[in-house]
């Protein structure tokens, strides 16, 4: 793609309101995960004839929280709309959603989120926020709609409350899209509306067009990283079509995560295909100013303010404060809880950002699981051992790896001999041995200080990585100077 090709990206982010006890229009539990298929259902969410929906009032409060946090304008009348389509994941053949037009309104319109990183600071406008119901889940037993002889359908998820947050096409690169989703999810997490670590809690549809081409929608992408990858792929695909003189068709595609490509799924429906009209089973609900004020008074500290506070209160760099807050609220909570208990903010931030996140990513576990092992207590033990020089900065990495992968307490590791070698006499003896075994390297090191690192390496090898590298370097340097005369 040439650098000047203009890319326009708009997102529709679907977020389950996981804080609710029950589904959006019935009293079935909102938590459907891990249950036998079709056991978390009732006549309403199965769409049986005559069953009538009743709105979950808590869902409205949660949606209002989000609207206020995103600076959106709340509509004073809540109207639900039927969005018609024939597909087995919705037994009624329509989804209860909200629409802007045809006598309907979404719960909120307008608003914005500011996205930032080192080189970027921009406003992304929000077009609207809808409340709607989640469809059921479809499974193709042999993996694909084309090859599977039959389809399995599970309605446990059907009717779970979703928020659909739609942006204007203000995003100009896949990276901006990733940063936007991370920021949005962090806001929702701080509001307590959703738990993004739950599989399927956040799903994204991305609209993308490049200059001179039609808009293509990529459906149902599961994570900010995958959104970035899918969009990168799509820009390359569309650019190649335009370059070869073809034209990009308006269509819906889906992201094949395994293959890392997007695949055409159908021609895009037009708005009028959905035959929207206000749901006659759900009378409009007035949203009073009192309710809005009351919800506003419950809003917690949001990520933007929290980042600023971590910088001013604990002296964190912008980068560290940003990662700690945006990557996960749990990480920011763990950071603040450990600092309250044992101080040393920058050491703790570095333990969490450089070590915990590394092992979480490498082992494919959630941050929540990682923090169950690397608890506040254990973090503070590590900080204390570092201060008492029982641990070197190198060895602490090994400790954290063992804590996270094997759930071992730092005290037990110290007991098993995972101790930093600060014993000067012992270390000097090891250095003596290394000098005897490597006379040529010693001669090199006398002439060229850079060659000292080889000797440090030999000492680390003999001590199984337990020696403090800085101290070892200093001792070797001293020993070399003694030898000069
Ligand atoms: Zn139900």
The tens digit of pLDDT for each residue in 400-458 reads 988 998 898 888 877 655 555 556 677 888 899 999 999 999 999 988 888 899 999 99
Looking at the fold, whether 257 and 394 belong to one and the same domain comes out as: no
47 alpha carbon – ligand 1 mean position (Å): 9
Q: What is the pLDDT of residues 215-271, one digit of tens each?
A: 999 998 988 899 999 999 999 999 999 889 888 888 899 898 888 999 888 665 677
31 alpha carbon – ligand 1 mean position (Å): 12
Q: What is the pLDDT of residue 417?
A: 56
Looking at the fold, whether 172 and 259 belong to one and the same domain comes out as: yes
Q: What is the pLDDT of residue 485?
A: 46
> How would residue 478 be classed by pLDDT, with cut points 50, 70 and 90?
confident
Identify whether 158 is part of a domain.
yes
Q: Which two tokens stand for residue 32?
A: 């459907």
40 alpha carbon – ligand 1 mean position (Å): 7
98 alpha carbon – ligand 1 mean position (Å): 20
Looking at the fold, whether 183 and 216 belong to one and the same domain comes out as: yes
State the residue range of the domain holding 325.
303-415
142 alpha carbon – ligand 1 mean position (Å): 29
Looking at the fold, whether 434 and 386 belong to one and the same domain comes out as: no
15 alpha carbon – ligand 1 mean position (Å): 19
223 alpha carbon – ligand 1 mean position (Å): 28
165 alpha carbon – ligand 1 mean position (Å): 24
Average pLDDT over every residue of 316-345: 95
> How would residue 4 be classed by pLDDT, with cut points 50, 70 and 90?
low
54 alpha carbon – ligand 1 mean position (Å): 11
Q: Which two tokens stand for residue 227?
A: 């959104």
In percent, the amount of the chain with pLDDT more than 70 equals: 95
96 alpha carbon – ligand 1 mean position (Å): 14
Q: What is the pLDDT of residue 469?
A: 82
Residue 269, Cβ density class (10 Å: 0-12 exposed, 13-18 middle, ≥19 buried): exposed
Tally the domains of the chain.
3
Q: What is the pLDDT of residues 334-344, one digit of tens each?
A: 999 999 999 99
User: Between 318-327 and 303-314, two packed helices, what is the crossing angle to 10 degrees?
Assistant: 140
List the CATH number of the domain containing 472: 1.10.10.410
Residue 124, Cβ density class (10 Å: 0-12 exposed, 13-18 middle, ≥19 buried): buried
Write out the H or E segment, with its range, that includes residue 153. strand 152-154
Side-chain-facing half-sphere of 412: CA atoms under 13 Å? 8
Q: What is the pLDDT of residue 423?
A: 64
User: Between 329-342 and 174-191, two packed helices, what is the crossing angle to 10 degrees?
Assistant: 60
Question: 94-97 and 81-84 as β-strands: parallel, antiparallel, unpaired?
Answer: antiparallel
Average pLDDT over every residue of 3-23: 92
286 alpha carbon – ligand 1 mean position (Å): 25
Identify whether 2 is part of a domain.
no
57 alpha carbon – ligand 1 mean position (Å): 16
Q: What is the pLDDT of residues 127-165, one digit of tens each?
A: 999 999 999 999 888 777 778 888 899 999 999 999 999
Looking at the fold, whether 74 and 151 belong to one and the same domain comes out as: yes
95 alpha carbon – ligand 1 mean position (Å): 14
394 alpha carbon – ligand 1 mean position (Å): 54
pLDDT for residue 24 is more than 70? yes
CA–CA separation, 337 vs 406, rounded Å? 23
Last residue of a domain, one of 275, 295, 315: 295
CA–CA separation, 427 vs 285, rounded Å? 76
């Amino acid at each position: 793609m040439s650098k000047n090709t203009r890319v326009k990206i708009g997102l529709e982010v679907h977020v389950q309101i996981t804080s609710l006890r029950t589904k959006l229009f019935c009293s079935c539990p909102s938590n459907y995960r891990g249950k036998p298929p079709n056991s978390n259902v009732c006549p309403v969410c199965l769409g049986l004839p005559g069953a009538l929906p009743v709105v979950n009032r808590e869902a409205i409060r949660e949606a209002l929280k989000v609207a206020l946090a995103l600076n959106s304008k709340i509509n004073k009348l809540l109207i639900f709309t039927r969005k018609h389509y024939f597909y087995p994941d919705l037994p009624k053949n329509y989804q209860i959603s909200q629409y802007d037009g045809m006598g309907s309104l979404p719960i909120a319109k307008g608003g914005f989120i500011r996205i930032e990183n080192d080189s970027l600071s921009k406003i992304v406008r929000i077009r609207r926020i809808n409340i709607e119901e989640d469809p059921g889940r479809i499974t193709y037993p042999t993996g694909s709609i084309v090859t599977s002889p039959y389809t399995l359908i599970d309605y446990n998820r059907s009717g779970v409350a979703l928020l659909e947050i739609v942006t204007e096409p203000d995003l100009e690169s896949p990276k901006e899209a990733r940063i936007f989703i991370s920021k949005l999810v962090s806001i929702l997490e701080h509001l307590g509306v959703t738990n993004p670590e739950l599989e399927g809690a956040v799903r994204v549809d991305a609209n993308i067009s490049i200059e001179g081409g039609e808009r293509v929608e990529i459906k149902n992408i599961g994570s900010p990283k995958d959104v970035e990858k899918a969009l990168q792929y799509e820009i390359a695909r569309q650019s190649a079509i335009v370059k070869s003189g073809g034209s990009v068709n308006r269509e819906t595609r889906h992201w094949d995560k395994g293959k890392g490509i997007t695949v055409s799924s159908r021609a895009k429906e037009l708005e009028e295909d959905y035959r929207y009209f206000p749901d006659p089973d759900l009378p409009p609900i007035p949203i009073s100013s009192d309710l809005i004020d009351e919800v506003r008074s419950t809003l917690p500290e949001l990520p933007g303010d929290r980042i600023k506070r971590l910088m001013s209160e604990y002296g964190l760099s912008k980068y560290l404060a940003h990662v700690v807050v945006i990557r996960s609220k749990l990480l920011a909570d763990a950071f603040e809880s450990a600092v309250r208990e044992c101080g040393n903010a920058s050491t703790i931030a570095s333990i969490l950002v450089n070590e915990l996140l590394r092992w979480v990513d490498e082992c494919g576990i959630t941050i929540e699981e990682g923090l169950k092992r690397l608890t506040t207590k254990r973090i503070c033990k590590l900080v204390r051992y570092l201060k008492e020089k029982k641990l070197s900065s190198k060895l602490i990495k090994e400790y954290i790896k063992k804590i996270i992968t094997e759930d071992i307490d730092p005290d037990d590791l110290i007991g098993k001999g995972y101790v930093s070698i600060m014993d000067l006499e012992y270390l000097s003896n090891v250095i003596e041995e290394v000098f005897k075994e490597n006379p040529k390297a010693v001669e090199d090191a006398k002439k060229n200080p850079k060659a000292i690192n080889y000797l440090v390496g030999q000492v680390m090898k003999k001590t199984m990585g337990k020696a403090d590298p800085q101290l070892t370097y200093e001792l070797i340097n001293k020993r070399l100077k003694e030898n000069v005369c």
